[in-house]
Structure 1
Amino acid sequence: MEVGIIGTGNMGTILAEAMLNANAVSPSSMTVTNRTKAKATLLKNTFSELKIETNAIEVAKQSELIFICVKPHDVYDILNQIKSVMTKNHCVVSITSPISVMNLESQLACSVARIIPSITNRAFSGVSLFSFGNQCTEEWKKKLWSLFEKISVPVEIDENITRVSSDIVSCGPAFFSYLIQRFITAAIQETNINQETATKLASEMIIGFGELLKKGYYTLPTLQEKVCVKGGITGEGIKVLETELGDVFEHVFQATHRKFKEDLAHIAQQYSN
C-alpha cells in the first residue's frame, strides 16, 4: 500500500516514524511533503528509500492512503488541492480533532476517516482515536484498523466525545509531563536531591507505574490503596493534593473545549463556502 503524508511537523513526523519503525509501512512505499522541506529531509536522512515531493498534489498522485497532518485551518486548502486527483479507491485521513469526517466528505468523493494519534504511538503504545466517514468502505476500515494496531490500540469514538477523548489521549502526555516536571522541581527546591537523580527516579517511577497498569496488577484506585497506608506518609501527601488541586483538571477541560469551539467556528465558515 502506497502511503502519503502531507505535513511532517511534530505529529506528522511521529506518525511516519512509528509506522516505519514498526514495519507497518516500508520506506519505499511512503511519500511525504512539507512546507519547510528541511523537516521532510530529516525523515529521509533516517529512511533513505522514503520519497519527498514538493507539494500535496504530487503526494496524492502517488498514494492510495493520504494522511493530512497540517494545522486545522490549513486542511481546507489541502483538500481543495488534492480533490481533483482523488478517486473512489483512495482514502484520506485527517489527524486533527476539529476536522470532522463530515468536513472531509463535503470536499472529497472517496473514503475518509479521522484518526487522532498520540505521541505514545511512537513507542507502539497508547490509543489512536477513530471516526469513519459514511462513505468509508469496509475494506478501508479494516486496512486502517490493521495499520494502527501495529502502533497503538485503536478505539472508535462518538463525535460528541472527540475533544475530551483527544484531551486524554493526545494532550494527556503533555499535561502529565508538565506535572511530573513540577514534581521534580519541587523535590529539588525542598530537599537536597539534584536534578539528575530526581529526574531519573521520577522517570523510572512513571515507567513502572505504566507497567503495573498494563500488566493488570492494579487499577488506578487499587494502586493508590496499596501505596497509601492509613496514617502513613503517602496519606499526608494525598491530603495536600486533595486540598490544593481543587478544580484544576475541570479548568483544563474547560480551556481546551473553549479553544475547540473557536476552531470549530472558524472551520465552519471555511466549509460553508
Structure 2
Amino acid sequence: MRVGFIGTGSMGSILIEAFIRSGALNPEQVVATNRTLSKVERLAEHIPGLQVARSNKEAAEGSDLLFLCIKPLEFKEVIEDIRPVVTGEQLVISITSPVLLRHLEEQLPCKIAKIIPSITNYVLSGAALCIYGNRTMPEDEVLLENLLSHIGSPIRVSEQYTRISSDLSSCGPAFLAYFIQKYAEAAVNATGISEEEATLLASEMTLGTGKLLTTGGFTPATLQKRVAVPGGITAEGLRIMEKELGGVFYDLIRTTHAKYDEDVEKVEARFFGTQVD
C-alpha cells in the first residue's frame, strides 16, 4: 500500500511519524510533499526510507490513500494540481474540518473521507474522528480505521457534529494544557512550590484522571463525587470552580463555532466564488 501526504506541517508530520513509529506503515510506503520542499526533505532525513515527492501531483499519483494536511484556503490550488491524476479507486482524506465532504466530492472523482486527528495521536493515544463521503465502501472505511487504530481510537461522527467533536478531541488538549498551566502558575505564586514540581504533579494527575475516565469505570460526575467529601476541601474547590468557570465553557463553544462558520464561508467563496461579507 502506498500512502501519500500533501502537507508536512504540524499535524501532517505528526501523522507520518505516528504511523511509522506504531508500525502501521513502513517508511517506504509513505510519499510526502510540502509547499516548502526543504521541510519534507528534513523529515525524510529524520525518517530514512520516506519518499519525497517534488509536487502535489507526484504525491497523489499512485497513492492508495492520500492525506491532505493543508490549510482550508490552500485546498482549491491543491485540488487543481491533483485532479488530472486522481482516479476513482483512490481514497482522498482531508484532515481540515471547514472543508466539507461535498466540497471535495464536487471537485474530485475519487472516494472522499475526512478525519480529525489530535496531537494526542503522537503518543498513540486519543481519538481520531472519522467522517465518510457518499462514495466510500465499507472496505475503505475498515482500511482507514485499521490504520488509525495504531495511533488512537477511530470514532465515527456525523459531519454536522464535526466542530463540537473537534473541540472535545482535537482542540481539547490545548484547552486542558492551558488549565494545567494556570493551575500550576497559581500554585507557584501562592505557595512558592517550584514550577517544575507543580507542573509535574498536575500533569501526572491529568494522566491518571484520563485513565479513570476511560478504563477505570468512572464518569466525570462519579469521579467528582468519589473525591469530594461533603464539606471538605475538594468540595469547596469545586464550588468556586462552578461559580467562576461555569459560563466559560459555553462561551468557548460559541466562539469556536463562530470561527468554524466563518472558515466554511471562506472555503465556499474560494471554491465556488460566493460572496463573503
TM-score with structure 2 length normalisation?
0.95
For residue 231 of structure 2, what is the aligned residue in structure 1?
231
String of CA shifts for 1:143-166, please: whole Å, max 9, x gaps: 111111121111111121111111
For residue 150 of structure 1, what is the aligned residue in structure 2?
150
Alpha-carbon distance, 1:30 to partner? 0.2
1:183-262 paired onto structure 2 within 5 Å: 183-262=183-262
- Extract structure 1 runs of 4+ deviating beyond 4 A: none
Q: Equivalents in 1 of 2:55, 2:117: separation in Å? A: 23
Provide the secondary structure at the position in 1 that maps to 2:23. Answer: coil
Q: Equivalents in 2 of 1:10, 1:154: separation in Å? A: 20
Consecutive unaligned residues of structure 2, counting only runs of 5 or more, are none
Letter in 2 for 1:219: T
Letter in 2 for 1:93: I
1:115-194 paired onto structure 2 within 5 Å: 115-194=115-194
> Cα RMSD between the aligned structures?
1.2
Provide the secondary structure at the position in 1 that maps to 2:58. Answer: helix
8 Å contact from structure 1 (residues 31, 62) kept in 2: no
Alpha-carbon distance, 1:201 to partner? 0.8
String of CA shifts for 1:169-197, please: whole Å, max 9, x gaps: 11000011011100000000111201111
For residue 34 of structure 2, what is the aligned residue in structure 1?
34
Q: Equivalents in 2 of 1:37, 1:254: separation in Å? A: 38
Provide the secondary structure at the position in 2 that maps to 1:75. Answer: helix
1:42-61 paired onto structure 2 within 5 Å: 42-61=42-61
Provide the secondary structure at the position in 2 that maps to 1:112. Answer: strand
For residue 109 of structure 1, what is the aligned residue in structure 2?
109
Provide the secondary structure at the position in 2 that maps to 1:154. Answer: strand
TM-score with structure 1 length normalisation?
0.96
Consecutive unaligned residues of structure 1, counting only runs of 5 or more, are none
Q: Equivalents in 1 of 2:37, 2:83: separation in Å? A: 23
8 Å contact from structure 1 (residues 20, 26) kept in 2: yes
Q: Equivalents in 2 of 1:231, 1:136: separation in Å? A: 55
Letter in 2 for 1:4: G
Paired residues, number? 273
For residue 22 of structure 1, what is the aligned residue in structure 2?
22
Alpha-carbon distance, 1:7 to partner? 0.5
Letter in 1 for 2:7: G
Q: Equivalents in 2 of 1:270, 1:73: separation in Å? A: 7
Percent of aligned positions with the same letter in both sequences?
A: 43
Provide the secondary structure at the position in 1 that maps to 2:84. Answer: helix
The answer to whether structure 1 residue 94 and structure 2 residue 90 are counterparts is: no
Letter in 1 for 2:243: T
The answer to whether structure 1 residue 265 and structure 2 residue 250 are counterparts is: no
Q: Equivalents in 2 of 1:236, 1:44: separation in Å? A: 53
Letter in 2 for 1:100: L
Alpha-carbon distance, 1:62 to partner? 4.1
8 Å contact from structure 1 (residues 86, 110) kept in 2: yes
String of CA shifts for 1:48-95, please: whole Å, max 9, x gaps: 000112221111124221100010111121111101001111110000
Provide the secondary structure at the position in 2 that maps to 1:84. Answer: coil
For residue 83 of structure 2, what is the aligned residue in structure 1?
83
1:53-72 paired onto structure 2 within 5 Å: 53-72=53-72
Alpha-carbon distance, 1:137 to partner? 2.6
8 Å contact from structure 1 (residues 125, 151) kept in 2: yes
Q: Equivalents in 2 of 1:268, 1:217: separation in Å? A: 43
Alpha-carbon distance, 1:139 to partner? 2.5
Q: Equivalents in 2 of 1:41, 1:185: separation in Å? A: 39
8 Å contact from structure 1 (residues 3, 64) kept in 2: yes
Provide the secondary structure at the position in 2 that maps to 1:97. Answer: coil
